[in-house]
Amino acid sequence: MSGEIWEEFCDTLRGAGDLIRDPDTTSSPLERATAIRYLTEFLAAGIDVCVAHSDPDYPELTRLANPNMRWGLNSPDCLYLIAPLRDDASYRLWGDPGTANHLDLQVNTGHPSDGDIQSMRTLATIAGRELKLEADGSVEIFIGGDERNRNWLPIGEGARHLLFRQNFSDWENERPAELLIERIGGAVGKMRERTDEIAARMDQLQSWIAKGGPLWETLSRGMRSSGWNALRVFTPGAESAPAGVRGQIHCQGNFRCAADEALLIQFDPPLCHHWNISLVNLHWQSIDFVGHQSSLNGHQARLDPSGTFWGVLAHEDPGVHNWLDPVGHERGSLFGRFLQCEAELEEPKVRVVKLDRLWDELSHETPRVTKEEREHTLRRRRNAAWKRYRV
């Protein structure tokens, strides 16, 4: 506690600023501003996860990402919560499960601060549809210890955290869960903070910046190396999707679109429990999905009479219901998620057209909107998003 640990952290943070001068991701003032904003959001998430809520003896469910802490390819439909665990302890999770379209709870090894995605493995998982509710609609889930008759997750050797995802389809009407977590047999009163614990938390925050941050940059560069303006279907296997959502197919690619162009995205969504498509900037950070329609899911999108999704990525509103707004970004990534599909997902068709030729390329049955309808939709979208993330 001489203060040296703070100096080390500041040096690490200063080094992270190299991202702002990376010619691969900051070729314009907007991209440099985006990099600065991203670093502040990534740091904020690290403070929450590594410092403020990191005690497995007194665990708390805290936000892993939200509209002001976007990182790690976060989904606009998902409310992410995380709680620290010890593999030699047991825990109780209880409360109102909410009404989100899909819940997914995972006991995982590893930690985002490690910078090693292969270390983040799922040891046990349970989905919302598998949960047994009490008569009053509440839920009680046990983690670790002896197997229970209802809602039990083994903790497993090496377990370090509980990851709780809630996917929302109808943003306006689905409610988040209100759950609490406690260590079984733990003391009610929290112990006084120890200097070695503070040091360990600062070390983890330093690792979050020095190792966790470069991991997401490496993954983003890897995706961009696949080329521009295409989407490819990827079905993760158990060995290639550590800590991923069970039963989820990914559709991933990149976009490059000038101000006088539009990107047409066409696919037939298979019958599935949940699907969405979203825009991501060069740092694997979702593009502002609260103030802009930078994502759409199966509830929000409108299909043509044949069941086809026609999406239009363009810098100005083209009057198409399924507009995807890149918010000024001329390049970034596209990411689709399809959960529990009942049929195969065919590879989407993506092509660039000149903006003034857009309506010559679209199906005449493509759903349209007026300026007034768009404003109404965006207002409802913003209010619904903040309702989900309210304190």
In the chain, the domains with their CATH numbers are: 4-217 (no CATH), 221-388 (2.60.120.1600)
Q: What pLDDT was estimated at residue 217?
A: 95
Mean pLDDT in residue range 73-90: 97
Q: What pLDDT was estimated at residue 189?
A: 76
In 151-260, where do the E strands start and end?
152-153, 159-167, 178-183, 230-234, 248-256
pLDDT band at 242 (very low <50, low <70, confident <90, very high): low
Interatomic CA distance for residues 259 and 27, integer angstroms: 16
Sign of CA dihedral 21, 23, 28, 34: negative
Q: What share of the chain is helix, strand, coil (3-state, %, to 5)?
A: 25, 30, 45
Q: Which two tokens stand for residue 343?
A: 């049929």
Q: What pLDDT was estimated at residue 268?
A: 95
Nearest CA to 245 out of 234, 236, 254 is that of: 236
The percent of residues in the chain predicted with pLDDT above 90, rounded, is 86
pTM of the model: 0.94
Q: Which two tokens stand for residue 280?
A: 């991501």
Residue 229: left (phi > 0), alpha (psi -120 to 50), or beta?
left
Interatomic CA distance for residues 390 and 179, integer angstroms: 15
Q: What pLDDT was estimated at residue 332?
A: 96
Q: What pLDDT was estimated at residue 243?
A: 63
Interatomic CA distance for residues 130 and 150, integer angstroms: 10
Q: Give Cα 313 to chain centroid, integer Å.
A: 21
pLDDT band at 220 (very low <50, low <70, confident <90, very high): very high
For 61-70, 169-178, 181-190, 217-226, which range has the lowest pLDDT when averaged over its residues? 181-190
pLDDT band at 239 (very low <50, low <70, confident <90, very high): very low
Task: Write down the residue that tokens 């209010």 correspond to.
Answer: 383
- Cβ atoms 286, 329 nearer than 8 A: no
- Give per-residue pLDDT as tens, 48-57: 999 999 999 9
State how beta strands 309-314 and 323-324 pair: parallel
- Give per-residue pLDDT as tens, 13-68: 999 999 999 999 998 999 999 999 999 999 999 999 999 999 999 999 999 999 99
- The answer to whether residue 195 scores a pLDDT higher than 70 is yes
- Give per-residue pLDDT as tens, 154-182: 999 999 999 999 999 999 999 999 999 99
- The answer to whether residue 201 scores a pLDDT higher than 90 is yes
